[in-house]
Amino acid sequence: MFLRFQPIKPLTIKKSGIIIAGIVAVLSFGFTAFAVQQAGPQPSPKLLDANNHTLVLIDHQPQMAFATQSHPIEIIRNNAALISKASKTFNVPVVITSVAAKSFSGPVFSEITEVYPNEKIIDRTTMNTWEDPNAYKAITGKGKKKIVFAGLWTEVCIVGPALSAIAEGYEVYVITDACGGVSSEAHEMAVERMIQAGAIPMTSLQYMLELQRDWARQSTYDAVNNIAKEHGGGYGLGIKYAKEMFNAQEGKK
């Protein structure tokens, strides 16, 4: 009896291409994993640091505050102070702008101007900061591809520049609890709209702690703790308690 062997069919070009692509993918993954292992743990490029963004504070003014109903105004003032002090501590580039300060809306909150007494405030007539030539030049002139916005009202004066900046290729972050709208719905829908367009929401305390990120960073340690104690609510109270009761300190193992 004779055994009949079937000849092995050569791989088709299509199958060969798939195999080659698979080999390339495996090798690429291996080289990438090796490179990451050699470099050590790296933070996400989506995280903010002191050098990669500009903070833009928009229309934190009395007339805008009077109609704000989404948050208690004392909370917004507190958070405006927190992010102002945090940005100052880390030397973040900042742009402060107002709308019709002399004729309608009044001065920028003292919580901001006391931190930045020498910062020029760019006054506008436009509701959309991005459409004001001086404000646009000041923001884009900082040369940062990430922009962090906070201000009043969320649904008008934050949505406008946020969507406009995204359209020009900037990465946009919005500090939602340092913003406010004429109603909770107005604020929430504005935040949703910006998220759908690609904006990244965050909160005031989160902003500061994201800049610190390591309690062993002693150059800003005391300043961050002092800001948290003054403006960080229950978290700040916890810091006071721990330090006074146990002399506790983050950054020590």
Active-site positions?
Answer: 157
Contacts of 209 (CB under 8 A, 6+ apart): 224
Give the C-alpha separation, 153 to 58, whole Å: 9
Which residues, other chains included, contact 55 with Cβ-Cβ below 8 Å and sequence gap of 6+? Answer: 83, 87, 92, 93, 94, 95, 148, 150
For residues 207 and 175, the answer to whether their CB atoms sit within 8 Å is yes
Helix (H, G, I), strand (E, B) or coil at 225: helix
Report helix, strand or coil for 240.
helix
Between the alpha carbon of residue 62 and those of residues 110, 119, 212, the distances in Å are 10, 19, 31
Q: Please give the angle made by the CA atoms of 214, 139 and 122, to the nearest 5 degrees.
A: 115
Q: How far is CA 1 from CA 4, 99, 132, 143, in A?
A: 10, 98, 93, 83
